[in-house]
Copies of this chain bind each other. A is one copy, B any other.
Amino acid sequence: MTTPDWIAIDWGTTHLRAWAMTSSGTVLQTALSDRGMGALARDAFEDTLHDLVGGWGCTGPMIACGMVGSRQGWVEVPYATTPCPPLGDGLANAPSDRMDVRIISGLKQQHPADVMRGEETQIMGFLSLNPGWDGVICLPGTHTKWAHLSAGEVVSFQTCMTGEMFALLADRSVLRHSIGPGWDDKAFETGVSDAIAKPESLAARLFNLRANDLVNGQDPGSARARLSGLLIGAELAAARPYWLGQSVAVVGAGPLVKIYTAALSAQGVPVIQADGDRATLAGLTAAYRRMKGIS
């Protein structure tokens, strides 16, 4: 294969992905590994990356985003402080004699305290694919991020642990006995609207998913959809200042984008959808181009 000019790297808690790139932005090859930050000691990052992409023969820069830059990562890269552009403080070098690896700094917000690592690159990518876009970006996931963008800057952002809460409640709490495979759009929608209409009732509605099985034999797939709806509804209640009267871009993949879009649309919010992987690569490409002085 053609020798890549640079390599784009997305290195999160549970995965490592790399793209062999030309300077003009063509993808020559991709590689995927399950050796995420969470599975690696600090001295294992260099070998792990070399094992994955060393064979590509790239002598140019490798640009990485994600938890690889966290305290538990390869090297801790300080956060840039909002309000600032998504690639706020540029790139920090990872310690390596064999490879030229630069890591994108995450973002932090002082009040209320919040942090992100990796999503700033997706935000940058979305902006580079949609120049001049002002509004709100929602990045659903384990920790969903809401970011308010204006004039190319992240003005503020907010994290909700909705994905992690869903996994804990559905797989590890007493609700697991009453939740099963399957889905029910109507149960999801009702969960969202119940939670938005009366967010103060959430604490009482969760155990109801267990009791409704014991008392009324509720369907396990409906229970799963309703739990998702209640938690996303509670998130929308908490994120109301982010979406009320705004245009929202939901950036991500698969069913999560679909259900967040459904939940927002039900509130009358105009939503556009964008692919999360494409945004990540576009953000890493933007960081490369900025480093090279390519405007």
Interface positions of A (Cβ within 8 A of B)? 71, 79, 108-110, 112-115, 143, 158-162, 164-165, 168-169, 172-175, 199-208, 210-212, 214-216, 231, 234-235, 237-240
A115's partner among B201, B205, B215 (CB-CB below 8 A) is B215
A161's partner among B201, B206, B212, B214 (CB-CB below 8 A) is B206
Specify the chain B residue showing the minimal Cβ separation from A204.
Answer: B238
Once A173-B168, A214-B108, A215-B108 are accepted as A-B contacts, the answer to whether A203 and B162 lie under 8 Å apart by CB is yes
Q: Enumerate chain B residues within 8 angstroms of A231, measured Cβ to Cβ.
A: 203
Q: List 24 A-B contacts (CB under 8 A).
A: A79-B215, A108-B214, A113-B208, A113-B212, A113-B214, A114-B211, A115-B210, A115-B211, A143-B174, A143-B207, A159-B208, A160-B207, A161-B175, A161-B206, A164-B173, A168-B168, A172-B172, A200-B200, A203-B234, A203-B237, A203-B238, A204-B238, A204-B239, A205-B238
Q: Enumerate chain B residues within 8 angstroms of A206, measured Cβ to Cβ.
A: 160-161, 165
Specify the chain B residue showing the minimal Cβ separation from A112.
Answer: B208
Cross-chain contact A204 with B160 (CB below 8 angstroms): yes
Total copies of the chain: 2
Cross-chain contact B174 with A161 (CB below 8 angstroms): yes
Label chain A's interface by main secondary structure.
helix
A143, B207: Cα distance in complex, Å: 8
Once A203-B235, A214-B115 are accepted as A-B contacts, the answer to whether A164 and B174 lie under 8 Å apart by CB is yes
A16, B88: Cα distance in complex, Å: 58
> Which of A79, A160, A162, A205: most chain B CB closer than 10 A?
A160
A210, B109: Cα distance in complex, Å: 13
Chain B nearest Cβ from A89, distance in angstroms: 15
